[in-house]
Structure formats: structure tokens, C-alpha cells
Amino acid sequence: MNSLAKLVFDDPLPARRPVYDPNNLHPLDAEARQYDDTSEGIDWDQIIATTQDDWEARRFAFNSDDYPDNETAMTALEQLLDSILQKVLHREAAFTSRSDAPRP
């Protein structure tokens, strides 16, 4: 048995996972994290740390069960995604205009 398999069998996942701690990962998570793509500067530790509690509490930004039918849910999802896109585009435009401004 290899060392990772031994760690997994010796330390199975707890019934209720604790809040995310990048310095204290379960062996399976530590193995998976070795393959995270960070080439675009995405801080996966920060993303997981700030969303882990909501994920475990099943609190999501969108829940299709809140809508009477699938068509209404998909329309609402499209509106949510469009609103997120508009916020990003607005933020990007503001940043670009500031960085392109002439310097004194």
C-alpha cells in the first residue's frame, strides 16, 4: 500500500468537515490541490476559505427550487449571470480608465 492510501485509510474523512484550513488538509485534498492551476493568479485557498461555510450550509446564490418551473428558473439564472457580468465589465472599465489616464 502506498503512503497516500495508508494515510487515507488511517484518517478517513470526518462526518462533518471543519472549516477549510489550507495548512491542515486531509490527504485526499492535499493530493488534489497539487494539481490546481494557478497560472492566472487565482488564489484557490482564498476562494475556498471564503465560500466553504456557505457551501456546507447549502447557501447558494441561485437555487432553481425557488422557481415554479424550469423555464422561469433559467430566465432568472440568466438575469443573475448577466448582472454579475455587468458588474465585472463596469469594474474593468473603471480600472482601465484609471490606468489609461495621463500621468502628471
Quick: pLDDT tens for 28-48. Answer: 777 877 887 778 888 877 888
Residues 48, 85: one domain? no
d(CA 65, CA 70): 9
CB atoms inside a 10 Å sphere around CB 66: 9
What total of structural domains would you count in the chain?
2
CA-to-CA dists, residue 91 to 5, 40, 42, 85, 87, angstroms: 46, 19, 18, 10, 6
Residues of the chain with pLDDT under 50: none
Q: Name the nearest CA neighbour of 76 among 66, 85, 90, 86.
A: 66
pLDDT of residue 17: 55
Residues 81, 44: one domain? no
Residues 55, 84: one domain? no
Range of the domain at 26: 1-59
Residues 76, 35: one domain? no
Residues 40, 21: one domain? yes
